[in-house]
Amino acid sequence: MEHKQYVSDEELLAAFIPKESAQKLVQEYASLYHIFTRVSDEQLQQIAGIGKARLRKISMVKEVMERMEEERRQQLTEVSDDTAAFAYFKFLEDKPKEELWALLLNAKNQVLGRKLISVGTVNASWAGIREVYHAAIQHLAFGIILAHNHPSGDSTPSLEDTNVTRKMIQAGKMLEIQFLDHVIIGRHGNYSFYARQPELWDRI
């Protein structure tokens, strides 16, 4: 049986850009995954040997990766616990800005839809709480999972994150729509409010 020859990250990247440029990128960002998910087009253009034509090739690889990730999410039709929620929202891991998303579920925890609520800092006073529940009502959702990312990579919740969670639980009880969880996605780990702070649901 023929053994598959190992090809390094540098060699794979050198199929798209000059070898010296590939070496520099791998040294700086450690892996192909980080290069294709965290490095902006502007940053890539600052690397010697990467012009518009080569940048377009890299952009096409990024697009392929994004479409594969979207297809994987579509296949994940049931989100019943924090592990499934972390997997569903993995795409937030490398976003350069905070993004807040609502996942809308039926009574069997099957995905009805999702909605991007805001881009930027999450806070408890912003009008997005109304937008989340408006989307839930439109989809006739039984439950909601809220998710946002911490671009720093540290998923430790802030005071505002906790305040948002409290207000979401309160609004859900008033509207009789279950607020199931609020998860925070980070490169160095994820956080589930329902798993780590279940008492929040009992206090309201």
Q: What local confidence, expressed as pLDDT, does residue 3 receive?
A: 55
In our burial notation (b when 16+ CB lie closer than 10 A, e otherwise), range 3-16 reads eeeeeebbeebbeb
Strand-pair partners of 182: 146
| Per CATH, domain 9-73 is 1.10.150 | yes
Burial class (CB in 10 A: 0-12, 13-18, 19+), 37: middle
Task: Kindly report the number of other CB atoms within 10 A of residue 23's CB atom.
Answer: 14
pLDDT in tens, 52-85: 888 888 888 878 877 777 666 666 678 999 999 9
Cα–Cα dist 28/10, whole Å: 12
Q: Where are the domains of the chain?
A: 9-73, 77-202
CB 78 within 8 A of CB 84: yes
Cα–Cα dist 153/12, whole Å: 27
| Per CATH, domain 77-202 is 3.40.50.300 | no
**Lowest mean pLDDT across 76-80, 158-162, 191-195:** 76-80
User: Which position has the higher pLDDT, 3 or 149?
Assistant: 149
120: pLDDT strictly greater than 90: no
User: Which position has the higher pLDDT, 37 or 1?
Assistant: 37
